[in-house]
């Protein structure tokens, strides 16, 4: 994309860089992760929302790496996307979770958007503008019981009515994709500007972990939506699809990143601060054979999680090249396998910091509990036990997983 044809940057932000390929995406992610890691503990402890960091993320071009090449993007593979999110999550899982929905709703446009919708919104993404999330609702029968309504207007457009919770990224967004039911009960996504009349974003997230994701409430009080900003999401699930697999891959990548970050923090603490147990007769905790054994066991689990994540990314890439019910199902099962494995591993690693570090590691000023809090909170997104069920049915009976978008 030439500078002359590039879309204008969001007000108050620098021009977004356009990443060329997978290798550059990974290099940029490594640099940003190193930068974000420096004050991650302090941001968490003080609940300082990462606005400047997200502006850096936008400017880096990482938010546009899934835009197709024909629209000026890098169109990177799923393996690369997963590794980008793993790197960011190892540094700060709060920052990694915020753009998860962004990538998902870029993919919604890729699947069901019109040519004009893609041209406009992919231009927005290349300019560094961010998509948020107004998806989940509370007080309903289950997670896919959406009460928010897309009500037709006399002029052929719509208004949105409803309330959303756990709206990660909405506070920082330029556009907020809203999941809503049409009058015929079909599921659509309405792309609404953050400053639309009748739309209110409330920073009321009070979870013990992922504190700075600002996953609060979005209120929609007769929010006007042009028909040109509405995408028929329900059509995604009428045939083979990778929507759910991609979304879950990103969640798995965040959990793998948390586990890896916790292992690195635990090892550093043992090397520099932990004391050996007196019965070992050793001068350094890092020489204690029992600690060495435990660190080795944990390292094996983290490396296994990383390998499963990479395999899941490869399965999605393979399915994209030849999308069928069989290939889509295999991709979903590969992602489910990675997530079912890593979720308990991430929680275990968050706890192991204290097991290895001793009493000193529990000091509040160190804020080492953030790994456990973040892992425990983020892994509540969807239950691994249901993934195990689908994996078992697939392996035992060849039953393909359902197309509900959460697998």
Residue 108's pLDDT band (boundaries 50, 70, 90)? Answer: very high
Structure-block tokens of residue 339: 């997530």
Stretch 37-42: mean pLDDT = 98
Residue 389 CA from chain centroid, whole number: 23
Cα torsion angle, 135, 333, 98, 104, sign: negative
- In sequence order, the 6+-apart residues with CB closer than 8 A to the CB of 269 are 353, 356, 357, 361, 368
- Would you say residue 6 has pLDDT above 80? no
CB 21 within 8 A of CB 92: no
- Could you tell me what percent of the chain has a pLDDT over 90? 94
Sort 193 into a burial class: Cβ within 10 Å, 0-12 / 13-18 / 19+. Answer: middle
Residue of 21, 83, 108, 79 lying closest to 318 (CA atoms): 79
- In sequence order, the 6+-apart residues with CB closer than 8 A to the CB of 27 are none
Mean pLDDT of the chain: 95
Residue of 175, 165, 161 lying closest to 136 (CA atoms): 165
**9 DSSP 8-state letter:** P
Task: Please tell me the distance from the alpha carbon of residue 69 to that of residue 76, in angstroms, as a whole number.
Answer: 9
Residue 8's pLDDT band (boundaries 50, 70, 90)? Answer: low
CB 41 within 8 A of CB 269: no
Stretch 89-111: mean pLDDT = 98
Stretch 120-127: mean pLDDT = 98
Task: Please tell me the distance from the alpha carbon of residue 150 to that of residue 162, in angstroms, as a whole number.
Answer: 9
pLDDT in tens, 44-99: 999 999 999 999 999 999 999 999 999 999 999 999 999 999 999 999 999 999 99
Sort 44 into a burial class: Cβ within 10 Å, 0-12 / 13-18 / 19+. Answer: buried
Cα torsion angle, 279, 282, 283, 284, sign: negative
Stretch 343-358: mean pLDDT = 97
Residue of 182, 177, 175, 178 lying closest to 150 (CA atoms): 182
Beta bridge partners of 178: 134, 190
Stretch 270-298: mean pLDDT = 97
Task: Please tell me the distance from the alpha carbon of residue 97 to that of residue 63, in angstroms, as a whole number.
Answer: 12
CB atoms within 10 A of CB 138: 10
The H or E element spanning position 127 is none
pLDDT at residue number 335? 98
pLDDT at residue number 127? 97
Task: Please tell me the distance from the alpha carbon of residue 28 to that of residue 125, in angstroms, as a whole number.
Answer: 17
pLDDT at residue number 34? 98
pLDDT in tens, 233-282: 999 999 999 999 999 999 999 999 999 999 999 999 999 999 999 999 99
- Could you tell me what percent of the chain has a pLDDT over 70? 97
pLDDT at residue number 9? 58
Residue 77 CA from chain centroid, whole number: 16
Residue of 36, 57, 62 lying closest to 48 (CA atoms): 36
pLDDT in tens, 196-229: 999 999 999 999 999 999 999 999 999 999 999 9
- In sequence order, the 6+-apart residues with CB closer than 8 A to the CB of 303 are none
Structure-block tokens of residue 164: 């959303």
pLDDT at residue number 15? 85
**Locus of tokens 């719509």:** 158
- Would you say residue 5 has pLDDT above 70? no
Residue of 245, 270, 295 lying closest to 407 (CA atoms): 245
- Would you say residue 3 has pLDDT above 90? no
Structure-block tokens of residue 104: 């998902």
Sort 317 into a burial class: Cβ within 10 Å, 0-12 / 13-18 / 19+. Answer: middle
Task: Please tell me the distance from the alpha carbon of residue 267 to that of residue 137, in angstroms, as a whole number.
Answer: 40
Residue 140's pLDDT band (boundaries 50, 70, 90)? Answer: very high
Q: What is the phi/psi pair of residue 189, to 5°?
A: -115, 125
């Amino acid at each position: 994309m030439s500078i002359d044809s590039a879309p204008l940057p969001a007000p108050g932000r620098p021009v977004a860089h356009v990443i060329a390929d997978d290798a550059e995406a990974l290099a940029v992610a490594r640099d940003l992760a190193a930068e974000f890691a420096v004050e991650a503990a302090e941001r968490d402890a003080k609940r300082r929302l990462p606005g400047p960091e997200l502006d850096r993320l936008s400017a880096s071009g990482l938010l546009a790496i899934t835009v197709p090449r024909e629209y000026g993007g890098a169109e990177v593979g799923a393996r690369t996307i997963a590794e980008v999110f793993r790197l960011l999550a190892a540094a700060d899982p709060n920052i990694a979770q915020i753009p998860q929905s962004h990538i998902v709703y870029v993919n919604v446009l890729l699947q069901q958007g019109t040519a004009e919708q893609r041209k406009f919104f992919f231009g927005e993404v290349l300019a560094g503008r961010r998509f948020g999330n107004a998806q989940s609702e509370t007080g309903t029968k289950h997670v896919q019981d959406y009460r928010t309504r897309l009500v037709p207007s006399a002029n052929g457009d719509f208004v949105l009515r409803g309330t959303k919770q756990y709206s990660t990224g909405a506070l920082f967004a330029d556009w907020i994709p809203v999941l809503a039911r049409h009058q015929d009960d079909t599921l659509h996504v309405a792309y609404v500007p953050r400053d639309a009349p009748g739309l209110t974003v409330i920073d009321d997230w009070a979870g013990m972990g992922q504190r700075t994701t600002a996953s609060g409430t979005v209120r929609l009080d007769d929010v006007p939506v042009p028909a040109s900003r509405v995408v028929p999401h329900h059509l995604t699930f009428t045939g083979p699809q990778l929507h759910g697999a991609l979304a879950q891959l990103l969640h798995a990548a965040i959990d793998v990143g948390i586990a890896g970050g916790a292992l690195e923090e635990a090892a550093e603490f043992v090397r520099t601060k932990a004391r050996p147990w007196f019965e070992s007769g050793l001068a350094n905790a890092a020489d204690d054979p029992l600690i060495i054994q435990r660190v080795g066991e944990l390292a094996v689990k983290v490396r296994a999680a990383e390998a499963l994540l990479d395999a899941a990314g490869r399965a999605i890439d393979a399915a994209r090249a030849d999308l069928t019910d069989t290939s889509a199902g295999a991709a979903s099962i590969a992602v489910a396998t990675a997530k079912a494995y890593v979720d308990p591993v991430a929680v275990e690693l968050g706890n192991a910091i204290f097991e290895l570090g001793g009493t000193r590691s529990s000091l509040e000023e160190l804020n080492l509990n953030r790994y456990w809090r973040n892992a425990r909170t983020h892994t509540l997104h969807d239950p691994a036990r249901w993934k195990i069920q689908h994996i078992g049915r697939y392996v035992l009976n060849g039953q393909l997983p359902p197309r509900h978008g959460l697998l």
